[in-house]
Amino acid sequence: MDMPLRTVRNNIVQSIRAFRVPDLQDAAQTLGHHFLYANLANAQTKQDVLDMIGQQFMLPTHVGKNFDALYDSLTDPVHKSGPQQGFIAVLEHVPANTKFDKEAREQLLDIFRDTADYWGDRKIPFRCFYSFL
């Protein structure tokens, strides 16, 4: 059997490029990883982005407060809930506008890079794929 994502490093945040969302979802299922998906096409602001990620990832409601709360929800409580096999996260259509500018996009991606590092330190794969609107 072909190993899904064998050419993609375990703990990385990268552009979705040649990958399709259904293929990433299939890979997550094959690998026994959690699949986290957020379509941010209707987001305009940082608050919209946080709210949509929280809702679509089914995270606790406090996630919508700030980037630190998002990071906390993606790491420690999940780690404390028991052994994890891995994660594939997709952030599709991250907004690129004046209300969610380059700095905000980099802050968001940094949260996911920090999350990838957190899980990498624990030898658990965390891959995040994103696309801009």
- Asked whether residue 25 is assigned to any structural domain, the reply reads no
The pLDDT assigned to 64 comes to 67
- Asked whether residue 4 is assigned to any structural domain, the reply reads no
Alpha helices in the chain (DSSP H): 21-31, 46-56, 67-74, 76-80, 102-121
Report whether 49 contacts 72 (CB < 8 A): no
pTM score: 0.93
Report whether 17 contacts 24 (CB < 8 A): no
Chain CA centroid to CA 127, Å: 7
* Residue-number span of the structural domain to which 49 is assigned: 37-83+101-128
- Asked whether residue 29 is assigned to any structural domain, the reply reads no
How many domains in the chain? Answer: 1
Give residue 49's pLDDT band: very low, low, confident or very high (50, 70, 90): very high
Query: pLDDT at residue 24 above 80?
Result: yes
